[in-house]
Amino acid sequence: MKPFPTTFAEVTQPLSELLTDTADKDLLRQLIVKNYEVHLGLTPEFVDAITETARQPSIREYCARDGSERFKNRESAECWLAKGRAVFLLFRRTNGSDDLHLAGYGWAGRAASPHVPGGETTFALRVSETDQGHGLAVPFAKLIISATSALYGAPHIWLETWASNTGAVHIYHKLGFKTVAQKVGQRLKPDGSTVSDTRLYMTQPVDLPK
């Protein structure tokens, strides 16, 4: 196993070239049929695409810090990567073209939380507004989790989300995540104001059903 990346990648790598498990191959084929594929690695050029995606209203509503902090620009993304993050890019391939368009992004990395006993690896994903509603979130998430385990040996994956983000909570439940802690807090809104919400801390069984 290898450590999580801490710098930009020179090129992205298709997960189809990195994963060998039959179930993973099936998930990749399901996406390919819909003209989507998943790559590993963040290059400086794709930071710009993530920044644009992160500023879409539906993503800003629950993940305001993506566009204002993590992926504000290439410099902020480079500082964020230094924590040790594997970045996964969901691409849409235009029919008859080699052009790849960013349809979503996600990441995994070493992190602990006092609200998740034993949690060692954080995980997150976003899907572009243009590509929402096409059944992409679950296979994309499963591939991120599987690749994180296979390539980095990362155990005890956990995540944070807001209770009011019911669509995301539903997807995480489908993936087998269970809420292990809740904390009332203030959610940052896109306009810089805050609103009262409940932060959910979720983890999953070690063996994720394929």
**Tokens standing for residue 12:** 């992205």
pLDDT recorded at residue 205: 65
CA distance 86 to 105: 11
Q: What percent of the chain has pLDDT over 70?
A: 95
CB contact at 8 A, 145 and 123: yes
pTM of the model: 0.93
Ramachandran assignment for 182, one of left (phi > 0), alpha (psi -120 to 50 degrees), beta (any other): beta
pLDDT recorded at residue 210: 39
Share the mean pLDDT of the chain. Answer: 93
Q: How confident is the model at residue 192 (pLDDT cuts 50, 70, 90)?
A: confident
